[in-house]
Amino acid sequence: MPFRAVLLDRDGVLNVNRPDHVTDPGQWQWLPGATTACARLTDLGIAQLAVVTNQSVVGRGLLSECGLRRIHDRMTEDLAAAGVPRPVVVHCPHLPETGCPCRKPRPGMLLRALSRLGVAPAEALLVGDHDTDLEAAAAAGCWSLHVRTGRGQLEALRPGCLGSVADLGAVAELVAGLRTAGWTPDCRRPDAPDPRPDPHEGALL
C-alpha cells in the first residue's frame, strides 16, 4: 500500500464545516460521499484511519469533553454502519493563543495519533481542508492532500503535499491509483521539492 495510515481532519473533510460549530450530535452533517470514501480507503488495505481535529470550542466553554465524545460516538457509529473500523480520534481542546504543541499547525496531535497506530510519519497521509493541516503534516513528516470541501482553495504547497482534490472520494481514488501504479512513500521524500509551478493544477501522481 502507498500508505499505512490516513489521518483525517474533521470539519470540512468528513462533515460540513459549520460557522457556528458542531456542538450537538444532531448538528453533525456528513459531507456527500464521505462515509463511502472512508470505506473505500479501508477496503484498499490501509491499516487504520485516524481523525485529528482542533476543537477549541471545548476551551471556549461552548462544548464539554463529554459532549464532544457524544459527537464522535455518532461519527464512529455512522462509520461502523458503512463497514469502517473505529478510527483513532485525537483532538486538541485548547485556544490558539495557548500555544499548545498539539494544536495544528503544530504536529503534536498527528504524532500522538501515529504513535497509537504504530505507524511512522513518512508512511502516513494527512487529509485536510486548510493550510494549518498541511503545515502540521509537514512538521510531522507526513504526506498530505488538500480537499476543497471545507475552507476553499489551496493557497500554497507545503513539503510533502501531493496537491489539491475535490473531496474525500477523490482522495480514495488517488490512493487507489497510487497503489495500481506501484507508488510507495520512499518513491519521493515528503520534503522533496514539488515540480509543479501551480498548486491548483491537481494532485501529483
Active site residues: 9, 11
- Answer whether 71's CB lies under 8 Å from 91's CB: no
Distance between CA atoms of residues 5 and 20, nearest Å: 31
Question: What amino acid occupies position 98?
Answer: T
Residues 69-88, buried b or exposed e (16+ Cβ, 10 A)?
Answer: eebbebbbebbeeeebeebb
Q: How many C-beta atoms surround the C-beta of residue 144 within 10 A? A: 27
- Here the cell at position 103 is 494544536
